[in-house]
Every structure is written in C-alpha cells, then in structure tokens.
C-alpha cells in the first residue's frame, strides 16, 4: 500500500511496534517523524533504519518528546510543519504498561500511566488537529486487547486503553467534519521489550496455547492494519478498533 509523500508522526517509534510501523511507512514512501522519549533514542533508531532500508535522508526527522511535556509536544508538531508543511497521519503509539495488583499500587502509578497513555495522546492529537483540519488525515491509536477485555494486575493500563478506545470513537465523531478519520489497532501479545518486561515465560506459553493462530505476534504482524488505516484505501473507515491478536480474544 503506497503512502506517496504523506507525512506521518509516529510516537514510540524508537523500538518495538512503532519502529516497525516507521520502517514500513518509510518503505512505502512516507516522510516520518521518529519519536522516542529522548532525542538520543530517536537518533539511534534513525541510524538503525538507515542501515536496514534504503531511505532518503530527508524522509526522516528524529525527535525526543516526553509524552508528559505539553510544550515539548507543541514544539515537535511545529517543527514537522515547518519541514513538510502538513501532517497526513498521526500514529499515537507511545505507551507504558504495568504489572501490579490494585493493593500494591501507588497513586503515582495511576498518574504516570494516564499522563503517558492518555493525556499525552490527547495533547499531541490536539496540536496535530490544529493543522490536519485544513487537509484531512488519518489518526491511528494503539490500543490493546486489555482495553477491550481488561487484564489481571493491569488495572491502570486497562483503564488507560479503555479510555483510548473512547477517545477513538469520540474523535471519529468530532473530526469527521474535517475529513479526519480516527481508528485504533488493538494488539494481543506482541514480542517487544514491553512484553518481555511484563509477561512471564509461563504466561507467554499459556497465551500462545490460547491463540488460534498459535504463536506470539511480532511487530511485523501488526503493520498491515496501520498501513491500511493510514492509506486512502481506508477512506470511509473511521471509529473502528481493529483487533490484531491471532484470534486470542475469540
Ligand atoms: N507489546 C505488546 O504486547 C502490546 C500489546 C498491546 C498493546 N501494546 C501497545 O503498543 C504500543 C507500543 O508498545 P511496544 O510493545 O512496542 O512497547 P516498547 O517496545 O516498550 O516501546 C515503547 C515506545 O514508547 C516510547 N515511550 C515510552 N514512554 C514514553 C514517554 N514518556 N514519552 C515518549 N515516548 C515514550 C518508547 O520510547 P524510548 O525508546 O525512548 O523509551 C518506545 O519507543 C503501546 O501503546 C502498548 O501499550 C503493546
């Protein structure tokens, strides 16, 4: 699916799912703002992308943005506009998870989760929509199966991802007037740093056993959904949450 010279901001694209989305978007002709929590991480990701695929140096811009920092987010969006004059695609993918029972949790855990997974997403979306409303575009939020069915010891994460689904549907209604489509992708379990740090080996085997397609997803398994939603092929698709989980939630 070709993305022509579309301009995409992809948060959380220094590693894992976001990195793979960035790689495939670049291969499909998009210009991409690569965002991590620090500029150092973003520069490293760009270096790796340049080693792995053939890209024009002008196709990428690295950014260190802390999703908690409103001014940081505003500056980044302004720099993207100043370089490429438009934003066609926003992928809200940066996120953190937790593996903590309610009784063991601290207030700070709740605030941190919502600052990054929800408020950061809302802040960057607001800044991007200021420009995107003049051209139309596609916003894709990374949700989770935990945002549909909940997760044991994941109450704060689940709450943040249920909220992301609510944001997706609400903004689809609000922004349709500007020809901005808003959708989400809800992965199951994906082999990334996040999963390594939060799911035990035993749990991993159980999840694979429960998955009809009988494996754990890699980031590559998810990219097709993002490519579709970002492309003009999805011109009448908005407000959907595409589950890409190998059938785990059936
Ligand atoms: N892996 C799974 O099984 C799974 C399942 C369902 C949903 N998801 C969702 O998929 C998305 C990506 O997850 P992943 O597995 O690819 O995670 P990951 O490998 O841990 O990567 C997380 C990304 O988010 C960025 N990030 C984290 N905190 C940030 C902050 N405060 N400010 C800015 N950027 C920040 C990281 O940047 P740095 O490199 O700079 O730290 C990194 O690029 C998340 O929204 C996650 O909830 C993942």
Residue 200 pLDDT greater than 90, yes or no: no
CA 53 to chain centre: 21
In a domain, 56, yes or no: yes
Q: What is the pLDDT of residues 41-85, one digit of tens each?
A: 999 999 999 999 999 999 999 999 999 999 999 999 999 999 999
Q: What is the pTM of this model?
A: 0.98
In a domain, 2, yes or no: no
Q: What is the C-alpha separation between 74 and 195, in angstroms, rounded?
A: 30
Mutate to test the pocket of ligand 1, among 9, 15, 24, 208 (most ligand atoms within 8 A of CB): 15
In a domain, 136, yes or no: yes
Closest to 55 in 3D by CA, of 66, 67, 47, 43: 47
Count the domains in the chain. Answer: 1
Predicted pLDDT of residue 2: 83
What domain range is 34 assigned to?
7-244
In a domain, 109, yes or no: yes
Q: What is the pLDDT of residues 139-175, one digit of tens each?
A: 999 999 999 999 999 999 999 999 999 999 999 999 9
In a domain, 1, yes or no: no
CA 56 to chain centre: 23
Pocket of ligand 1 (CB under 6 A): 12-18, 36-38, 41, 65-68, 93-97, 116, 142, 144, 187, 189-190, 192-195
| Protein residue closest via CA to atom 19 of ligand 1 | 16
CA of 16 to the centre of ligand 1 (A): 7
Closest to 243 in 3D by CA, of 157, 168, 147: 147
**19 or 202, higher pLDDT:** 19
Q: Can 157 be counted among the known catalytic residues?
A: yes
What proportion of the chain, given as a percentage, has pLDDT over 90?
94
Residues 6+ apart with CB under 8 A from 51: none
CATH of the domain at 110: 3.40.50.720
CA of 215 to the centre of ligand 1 (A): 21
In a domain, 250, yes or no: no
Which tokens in the block code for residue 201?
């080996």
Residue 1 pLDDT greater than 80, yes or no: no
Closest to 242 in 3D by CA, of 152, 200, 158, 181: 181
In a domain, 249, yes or no: no
Residue 121 pLDDT greater than 90, yes or no: yes
In a domain, 225, yes or no: yes
């Amino acid at each position: 699916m070709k993305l022509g010279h579309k301009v995409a901001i992809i948060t959380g694209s220094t590693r894992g799912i976001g990195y793979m989305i960035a790689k495939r978007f670049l291969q499909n002709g998009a210009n991409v703002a690569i965002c991590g929590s620090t500029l150092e991480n973003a520069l490293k990701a760009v270096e790796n992308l340049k080693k792995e695929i053939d890209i024009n140096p002008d196709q990428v811009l690295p950014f260190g943005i802390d999703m908690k920092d409103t001014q940081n987010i505003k500056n980044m969006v302004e720099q993207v506009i100043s370089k490429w004059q438009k934003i066609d695609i926003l992928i809200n993918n940066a996120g953190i998870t937790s593996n903590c029972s309610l009784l063991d949790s601290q207030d700070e855990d709740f605030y941190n989760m919502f600052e990054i997974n929800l408020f950061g997403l809302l802040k960057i979306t607001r800044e991007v929509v200021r420009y995107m409303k003049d051209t139309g575009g596609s916003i894709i939020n990374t949700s989770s199966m935990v945002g549909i069915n909940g997760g044991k010891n994941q109450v704060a994460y689940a709450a943040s991802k249920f909220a992301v689904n609510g944001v997706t549907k609400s903004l689809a209604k609000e922004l349709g007037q500007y020809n901005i489509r808003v959708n989400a992708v809800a992965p199951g379990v994906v082999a990334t740093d996040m999963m390594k740090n939060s799911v035990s080996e035993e749990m991993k085997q159980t999840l694979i056993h429960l998955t009809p397609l009988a494996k754990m997803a890699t980031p590559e398994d998810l990219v097709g959904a993002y490519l579709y939603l970002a492309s003009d092929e999805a011109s009448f698709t908005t407000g959907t949450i595409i589950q890409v989980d190998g059938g785990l939630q059936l």
